[in-house]
Amino acid sequence: MASFWKRKLKDGEVSWEALIRRKGQPFQRKSFDTRVEAEAWAFTVESEISKGVFVFRIEAENTTLSEALDRYIAEVIPTKKQHHREKNQAIA
């Protein structure tokens, strides 16, 4: 279930924050200009979590291309049939 609250910013403007907490899942939090936008986002995220298709974006947003390539070399290439050839191509 999502929670919503109004926040006053330093410049006097208002933003709405949505917080989604699900047991066994990391919490999701995001700020919006309107409550309607916050509710729409929360509804979408909650339905994706229920369906099992939600991708936790925090990790993806904080991962650099270099880190992703290193992880690919370490985790994916060894499972391939000609892994030694692909590893040499990936490093070059």
Comparing C-alpha atoms, which of 55, 63, 61 is closest to residue 26?
Answer: 55
Mean pLDDT of 48-62: 80
Total of domains in the chain: 2
Cβ neighbors of 86 (< 8 A, separation 6 or more) are 77, 80
Same domain, yes or no, for 22 and 65? no
Same domain, yes or no, for 46 and 62? no
Comparing C-alpha atoms, which of 33, 1, 37, 38 is closest to residue 18?
Answer: 38
- Pick the more confident residue, 62 or 57: 62
Confidence of residue 91 (pLDDT cuts 50, 70, 90): low
pTM (predicted TM-score) = 0.60
In the prediction, which pLDDT does 22 show? 87
Residue 17: domain span? 1-54
| 57 pLDDT more than 80 | no
Name which of 40-49, 50-59, 65-74 the model is least confident about: 50-59
In the prediction, which pLDDT does 90 show? 64
Same domain, yes or no, for 47 and 64? no
Mean pLDDT of 20-35: 89
Mean pLDDT of 52-63: 79
Same domain, yes or no, for 47 and 63? no
Same domain, yes or no, for 73 and 87? yes
Same domain, yes or no, for 69 and 81? yes
